[in-house]
Amino acid sequence: MPSTRPLVAVIDWAKARLGDPEALVEREVIGSAADVKTIYCESDRDFTEEVCNAAALIVWHNCPVGAEGIGRLRGCRAIIRNGVGFDSVDAAAAATRGIPVCNVPDYGTEEVADHAIALALALCRQLFPLDREAKALRWTIPEPGRLRRLRERSFGVVGLGRIGTAAALRAKALGFRVSFYDPYLPNGVDKAVGVRRVRTLDELLAESDVLSIHCPLTAETRHMLGARELGLMKSTAYLVNTARGAIVKKTDILAALRTGRLAGAGLDVVEDEPLKTAEEAATPNLIVTPHAAFCSVEGRGEMRATSARIARAAVLGEPLENVVNGVRR
């Protein structure tokens, strides 16, 4: 006999599955409030009638949901982005349909901050060149001038939200001189956290030995760092991005590394990820990880449980957490 319960559809990416087919975490949290089913899609073009009739969608990050797909939804009470960033969902289009879009802003705070610091340390301490040297059965230090004392280096943070604050405190504990730029924070945040505030991005770019990006991808921040901005940085500086790839224009950061305009970059995210060619992958002084900064057993379980809790509230008509597009039901 067909179920009469509402459906929560977990939309996983067909090309690289991130959850599990049984959606065990989601089922445990949602319980008897709804049926739960994992459905694999490359984009909203793959939405079936079952998806379009679902009461709530939980969407993994690589499956874009645009205005066309949202327009096909019937009776959807919430779209939950299974992660911090929600740029893969057309939140404005959802708002016009009265559908709340929610995210999970806090699940990977420790992991992403740790990953940013790991990339920064790998660059500052030249771990990968030293690893190659040692494995080539040699015992000399390549480019020893790049190895500098952390206490003499400045660490710049773009965006002092949850993850930016966690990264700033870690950098501070390591001895970096930490500064940040965030025009949306009230006065006094710098005093509470114990780091220095600068009032313009250009000032932060010019002074930072390591620049770590921790802001969301929006119309304002897309390509926020291009050729002009990278040109303001020291030629000895490193750039770390664990936020969203398109904040940094890919062609410009790769060109800066190839010409030696920057000393190095550690990118967990790249514009139009993943890297597309062997030439891009061979860019000198570049460390790349595959959008994995958020990953940990603990963090992934926490993220999925939070998304499921929001989906459960949606189908029960309860108040929703973490609404990002202003729609309240």
Q: How far apart are CA 213 and CA 18, in angstroms?
A: 25
Q: How far apart are CA 276 and CA 264, in angstroms?
A: 19
Q: How far apart are CA 325 and CA 86, in angstroms?
A: 10
pLDDT at site 146 = 87
Query: What is the rounded average pLDDT of the residues 124-134?
Result: 94
pLDDT at site 328 = 87
Q: How confident is the model at residue 1 (pLDDT cuts 50, 70, 90)?
A: low
pLDDT at site 40 = 95
3-state secondary structure at position 286: strand
Average pLDDT, the chain: 95
What single string gives the DSSP state of each residue in 57-99? EEE-TTS-B-HHHHHT-SS--EEEESSS--TTB-HHHHHHTT-
Q: How far apart are CA 321 and CA 313, in angstroms?
A: 9
pLDDT digits (tens, 9 = 90+) for 139-191: 888 777 889 999 999 999 999 999 999 999 999 999 999 999 999 999 999 99
**H or E element that contains 189:** helix 189-193
Q: How far apart are CA 38 and CA 22, in angstroms?
A: 7
Q: Which is the catalytic residue, given 177, 291, 309, 312?
A: 291
Catalytic, 273? Answer yes
Q: What is the 3-state secondary structure (H, E, C) of 234-281?
A: CCCCEEEECCCHHHECHHHHHHHHHCCCCCEEEECCCCCCCCCCHHHH
pLDDT digits (tens, 9 = 90+) for 25-63: 999 999 999 999 999 999 999 999 999 999 999 999 788
Please name the amino acid found at residue 9. Answer: A
pLDDT digits (tens, 9 = 90+) for 67-122: 999 999 999 999 999 988 899 999 999 999 999 999 999 888 999 999 999 999 99
Q: Which is the catalytic residue, given 203, 273, 280, 321?
A: 273
- Domains of the chain in sequence order: 7-107+296-316 (3.40.50.720), 109-288 (3.40.50.720)
Residue 3 scores a pLDDT above 80: no
pLDDT digits (tens, 9 = 90+) for 228-270: 999 999 999 999 999 999 999 999 999 999 999 999 999 999 9
Residue 221 scores a pLDDT above 90: yes
